[in-house]
Structure 1
Amino acid sequence: FMLFQSGGPVNDILSALTGSPVTIAWLSDPTLALIAVMVADIWQWTPLMFLILLAGLVGVPEDQIKAATLLGANPWQRFVTIVLPKMKTIIIIALAIRVIENFKIFDTLYIMTGGGPGVATETISVYIYKLTTQDLIWGYVAAIALAILIVLSIVAVFAMKRMARAREVAA
């Protein structure tokens, strides 16, 4: 409802800032619809990603950071040489979660645009849904689902190998 063309809070705020009525069709324009869906997805997932990264940041040893400070390392050097290597596993986990979730994004996208206008915001999950419910091409849908499973399995294996390598380096 925030992006309704008339009466939506986003257009109302833009109208108040510009001093003239703003009626942007956020979900009707292909480019703006894609941006709106991306912003909604980022808005939805930022808190979880923040908590995951914060949990990793809490696990960074404080004594190493203090030692680096005493040795004259600036904040950027401490981040690059201590914090980032210690958080590499957590970052890989967060990225793997986002990649997998982006493959299966459906609810937000379907509620906001239904995959439209046209096919501007249609993802693989919306495409599969439409093939399943409208075209009834079950074999093709099964093949697409199997291809997604293979791709996501490769992503998961890659992430697990990177995490194992990051643990070896950190140890």
Structure 2
Amino acid sequence: MQRRLFIAPSILVLLVLALYPLVFIASAAFSRSSLGRPFQEFTGLENLRNAATNSAVQDSLLMGTGYAFGVAAASTILGTATAVALWRSVRSGAILRTVLLLPMIVPPVIVGILWGFIFSPSGGLIDTLLRQFSSAPGTFAVLSDPTWAIVGVAVADIWEWTPLVVLLVFTALLGQDPEILEAAQIDGAGPLQQFLHVTLPTVAGTVAAAFLIRLILAFKVFDLVYVMTSGGPGSSTQVPAYLIWRAALQNFDVGMAAAITLLLAVLVTLVTVPIFALSKRLRHD
């Protein structure tokens, strides 16, 4: 009885913060709901069918998946390489490690504004460098180009969250048994061989877990898109989270927004379950 009393607050918080939103979204997805009048009438699978067959939703989910995998892969590779470099200079890199972690604590809105200035075609850092080292006329407006706008958002996203990968992998590297590395050195293994055959297998589970976390964060990106491009130009940066916001708060169609949310949840689950299983397996090997 006492155990139940101790865990009751945790269960209550879980119900309020997790179960209630899930029930609300599921209920809205199967009903005609607006922002002011939710659950007007039961519509069955109509919202889900309309969302699944909508070309804009399909394009957004496809782009969001490609974006998430690209950003997660880049962050994981850069973060792992940076963590290894910091680990090799662990005694002399305290200040550098602190500086590298700063982007992670900057609010996403500020990150979006900062990179918006960097990509600005009138006096931004990219424009200034192009004018300095290139003789090509005109300006290069990254965030106004349908092809490059999503790349600009991705660069800001990678800059913001790569330090998280650095932190996770660096912590795993510090937990290595130094005797194993010493034994590898005695056996004549060079730095590259030590990394590939000793260090990398040791932290492989952590790297996979970091990739999984980074992938989920990339699927959720909204702030950067809202601040930097507002989903444009056209629909070139209309990621799923932005599309959901637009359906709910601009078109006031909560039922459609809930249906897109469920489709996104199913997609993220299908994508992340195999990676989670791989990460678990690598950690136990």
* Aligned residue identity for 1:128: I
With normalisation by structure 1, the TM-score equals 0.88
Q: Tell me whether 1:100 sits opposite 2:216 in the alignment.
A: yes
Note the alpha carbon deviations across 1:92-117, whole angstroms, 9 max, x for none.
Answer: 11111111011100001110001110
Shift of 1:71: 0.5
User: Displacement of 1:46 after TM fit?
Assistant: 1.7
- Match of residue 78 from structure 2: none
| 166 and 20 in structure 1: CA distance in 2 versus 1, 3 angstrom threshold | closer
Q: Following TM superposition, by how much is the alpha carbon of 1:42 offset from its aligned partner in structure 2, in angstroms?
A: 1.0
Aligned to 1:41: 157
User: Counterpart of 1:30 in 2: which secondary structure?
Assistant: coil
Q: What residue in structure 1 maps to residue 167 of structure 2?
A: 51
1:32-64 CA-partner distances (Å, limit 9, x unpaired): 212211111111112222111111111221111
Correspondence 1:1-171 to 2 at 5 A: 1-18=117-134, 23-169=139-285
Q: In 1, Cα distance between the equivalents of 2:151 and 2:261?
A: 26
The CA deviation at 1:22 is 5.3
Unaligned runs of 5+ in 1: none
Conserved? CA contact 1:14–1:22, under 8 Å: no
Q: Once structures 1 and 2 are overlaid, which stretch shifts more, 74-83 or 10-19?
A: 10-19
SS of the counterpart of 1:85? Answer: helix
**Is this contact kept in 1: 2:176–2:202, CA < 8 A?**
yes
SS in 2 for 1:31: coil
1:135–1:59: structure 2 CA closer, same or farther, 3 Å change rule? same
Q: Which moved more, 1:134-143 or 1:87-96?
A: 134-143
Query: What CA distance in whole angstroms lies between the structure 2 residues aligned with 1:22 and 1:64?
Result: 57
Higher relative contact order (CA 8 A, sep 6+): 2
Measured on the aligned residues, the alpha-carbon RMSD in Å equals 1.9
Equivalent residues of 1:11, 1:22 under 8 A apart: no
TM, length-normalised to structure 2 = 0.55
CA distance in 1, matches of 2:283, 2:121: 50
Letter in 1 for 2:167: L
- 1:6-45 Cα shifts (integer Å, max 9, x gaps): 1212211221223676521111111121221111111111
Where in structure 2 are there 5+ consecutive unaligned residues?
Answer: 1-116
Count of residue correspondences? 169
> SS of the counterpart of 2:155?
helix
Q: Structure 1 164/46 Cα, relative in aligned 2: closer, same or farther at 3 Å?
A: closer
2:226 counterpart letter in structure 1: Y
Contact 1:12/1:22 (<8 A) preserved: no
